[in-house]
Structure 1
C-alpha cells in the first residue's frame, strides 16, 4: 500500500461551495452551529452537526442524530449540491489567514501506516469521542472530517504544488471568519504519480489535529476487514481523509490557561509561592511571551512576567521541557492544586485566536482568579514528542487556520 493515494473526492457544486463549507464539527457547540446554519439549507453543518435539525435538547449522540445526518447527506447528493469526481485525484488546498499562508495536499492516507505508527500520534484519545466518529462514518459511509497531517518539508513536493497553483482554482472562497480557502484539483497522472512516490519515500507523517478521526477510521477499517472474507487491502475503508501540510508552513498559536481560584491563598502568598520556580516581575502592559520558558500571569488589574528558573527545565525530556509542562509541574499543580488538568473543573483553556484581552475579560468578570499566557508550542517540539512515542499534555497546541468541513469528502465504496 502507498502511504497516500488519490481518491474520487465528493465536493460541492462550484456555485454552491460558499454555501456548503463550514467550520470543523468540533469547534462549534450545538447552539453556535444552529445559529450559523440558520437560513443556509446547504450548510455542511446539517451533516456534521445534524442535531441542529432536531428539537432543542436532543442528545447529540442519539441514534436519531446520526440518522438525520444520513438523511441530510442523501438530500444534498440527490439535489446535486454534492458531486463526486469521476476519476481519482489529489487536491491542492491553500489556506490564507491574514499574512499567513499554507498550501498542502488533500489525499487518502493509509490506515495500516497509522496502525504501525508511521503516521505518528501525540495525543491520547477518548473512547466516547472515537465512538462518535465511528458512528458518523458508518451512518454516512463517508469520511467528511479531514485529519490534519504534517510532514518535514520537501522541495520536490513544493515544486509539484507550484506547477498546479498558477492555474485557475476550482474553488476560491473567503469564509465568514475571513479565512480564504482555495482548492485546485490535481488531475494530471504524472503529477499524481510523483506525489505518491515522494510521500512513499518519507519516513513518516505526523498528526497535527484529528486524533479521534484517525482512530475512528482505523476502527472502521478493522471492522470491515473482519467482515469481508475477500478483503484485499485496496478497499477505500483502508484509507482516511487527510490534508497534509509541510512543517515550515504550519501555524501553532498559544493555548492559554485560566483558573477559578488561588487554592485558598491570598494574592501576596500566591506570588510568594511561585517565586520558588519563577522570576516574577510586574508589568504595566499585557504580557505576550516572546520565547520558551516565559509566561504572562494576569491577576485582576495587574500583569506579571514569569521566567522559569533554568534549573527547573529538564535536559532531555521532549514532554517535560514543553512550556505547558513547565507551567503545570511548577505552578498549576504544586501551587494551585490542580493535578489533573484533563478533569479538574477549576481550570479552563483559551485558544490564542481569542487574544490576551479574553484572558483579562474572564478574570476581570470574576469568573476566574488568574490567567496564564503561554508561548506557542513549536511544530518541532510536537514532532519530537511523536518521534519519542510519547503524548503531549492536554491543550498543548492550537492550530490556525482551521480546515473547512465539506470542501472535499471521502466516500467509502
Structure 2
C-alpha cells in the first residue's frame, strides 16, 4: 500500500508564473542561461544559480547557502507564496505531440526503503551525497520524482472530471508547451486520493532515482530532528500509459584498435547485418539496432537463436548491445565513467549522430529501440538494475512551479 500526502507547497503568484518557471537548470547552455538571467529578474534560474557571474569561484557549501538566501528573497518579495493548508495538485503538460497529466504529492521515504516504491536504475554515490547536501543547505526541492502507477479507471474518470474545474494556472512557455495546474484542497477529495493509491499498491520510479536516494539519505541523517517533511519527497504520479519513453542512443569515439573489416566481422557473429547506405534508418522492433559507421547506415538484427535469456534484464536491448558489442569488441567496461562513449536521447534526430561521426569526433553510433514500460516494471519487480542511460522519459517538470520545503 502506497502512502501519499498533501503538502504546503510554495509556488509563484499567478501573474508571474510564466516568468518564474524554467526548464531544468541542466537544459540550458551557458549563452542561453546568461540571457535568461540578464533579461528576466523573476526567473527561478536566479535562485538555482545565484551570483551566476562568479559561480565558478565559490565552493558547493557557499553556493547552496546562496541558493537558500535567494529563495528567501523571492518569498519576501512576494514572487513566491505558500499555501495556507496542505494540498495535492493535478498538473497537465500539453506539447505538440503529447499530453501528460498527473498528481503532485508527497511520497513516503519508508515506502521507498520497503520497495513499495520500486527502482530500476543504479545511482552514483557522490551525486546522491551532493544532492543530499543541496537539500540540507537550501531547505527545498522543486524537481519532483517522476513515478508511475498502474492505470486505474476510477482515477482516470476523476482526473477527467477535475479538469473541468477552474485551474489556478494556465500558461504557455517559449518551448511551445502549455501548462495547467489545479489545486486539490477538499478534505474528501484528498482522503479519496490517499485511499485510491493505497489500493493501487506498488509505485515505480520512472525518472529521479538520484533525487529519491538523496531524500532517503537526508531522512536517515536527520530523522530524529522532528521535521516530518523529511519523511516524504515530492513526486509527480502519472499512469503507466501516459509516460513517453525514448531510447538513449550510443556513440563511441574509436574502434578499440580494430580495423573496419575486423569490426564488421566481429559484429556479424551475433547480428544479421544489412547495409542501408544513406537511408536514415532506425530500429522498428525489439532486438533490432541501427548502426552508423564509415559514412553508411546499417540494420542489425540479433541472432536470437544463439542466446539463452536468463531474466528480463538479459533481454533488454541496451544490455544486449553492451554484452555483444560495447564490452567485448569496443572495450567499454564502465558505461558511466568511460569517456569513449557518449549518449544521445531519442528526442534528437539521428542526423545528430551522423554529424558527430562524419566530423570525426566519434567513430561509430548505435541506435536502439525504446524500452517498454512493462520492461521497466519487470526489471524493478525482479530487483534488477538497467544499464545507465537506457531511457529518456517524458514528461519533464518545470523548476519553480511547485516547491516542496524541507
TM-score by length of 2: 0.95
Does 2:332 match 1:332? no
SS in 2 for 1:252: strand
Distance of aligned partners of 1:301 and 1:180 in 2 relative to their CA distance in 1, 3 Å threshold: same
Match of 2:254 among 241, 261, 271: 261
Q: Once the 2 structures are TM-superposed, how far is the Cα of residue 379 of structure 1 from its aligned partner?
A: 1.0
Q: How many residues align?
A: 405
Does 2:361 match 1:363? no
**Residues 74-113 of structure 1 correspond to what in structure 2 (within 5 A)?**
74-113=72-111
1:153-210, CA deviations, whole angstroms, 9 ceiling, x for partnerless residues?
Answer: 1111112111211222221222222232221111222222111101012221111111
Distance of aligned partners of 1:251 and 1:48 in 2 relative to their CA distance in 1, 3 Å threshold: same
Match of 2:245 among 241, 252, 264: 252
Does 2:46 match 1:46? yes
Q: Once the 2 structures are TM-superposed, how far is the Cα of residue 313 of structure 1 from its aligned partner?
A: 4.4
Q: Once the 2 structures are TM-superposed, how far is the Cα of residue 222 of structure 1 from its aligned partner?
A: 2.1
1:117-148, CA deviations, whole angstroms, 9 ceiling, x for partnerless residues?
Answer: 11111111122211222122122222222111
Q: What is the rounded CA distance, in whole Å, between the counterparts of 2:83 and 2:225 in structure 1?
A: 28
Q: What is the rounded CA distance, in whole Å, between the counterparts of 2:128 and 2:52 in structure 1?
A: 23
Q: Which position in structure 1 is the counterpart of 2:372?
A: 378
Gaps of 5+ in 1: none
Q: Once the 2 structures are TM-superposed, how far is the Cα of residue 28 of structure 1 from its aligned partner?
A: 4.1
Q: Which position in structure 1 is the counterpart of 2:311?
A: 317
Gaps of 5+ in 2: none
Contact 1:289–1:375 (CA under 8 A) maintained in structure 2: yes
Q: What is the rounded CA distance, in whole Å, between the counterparts of 1:73 and 1:338 in structure 2?
A: 42
Q: Which position in structure 2 is the counterpart of 1:131?
A: 129
Match of 1:281 among 254, 264, 274: 274
CA RMSD of aligned residues (A): 1.8
Contact 1:179–1:401 (CA under 8 A) maintained in structure 2: no
SS in 1 for 2:390: coil
Q: Once the 2 structures are TM-superposed, how far is the Cα of residue 30 of structure 1 from its aligned partner?
A: 5.9
Q: What is the rounded CA distance, in whole Å, between the counterparts of 1:45 and 1:313 in structure 2?
A: 49
Q: Once the 2 structures are TM-superposed, how far is the Cα of residue 35 of structure 1 from its aligned partner?
A: 4.1
Q: What is the rounded CA distance, in whole Å, between the counterparts of 2:171 and 2:81 in structure 1?
A: 18
Q: Which position in structure 2 is the counterpart of 1:189?
A: 187
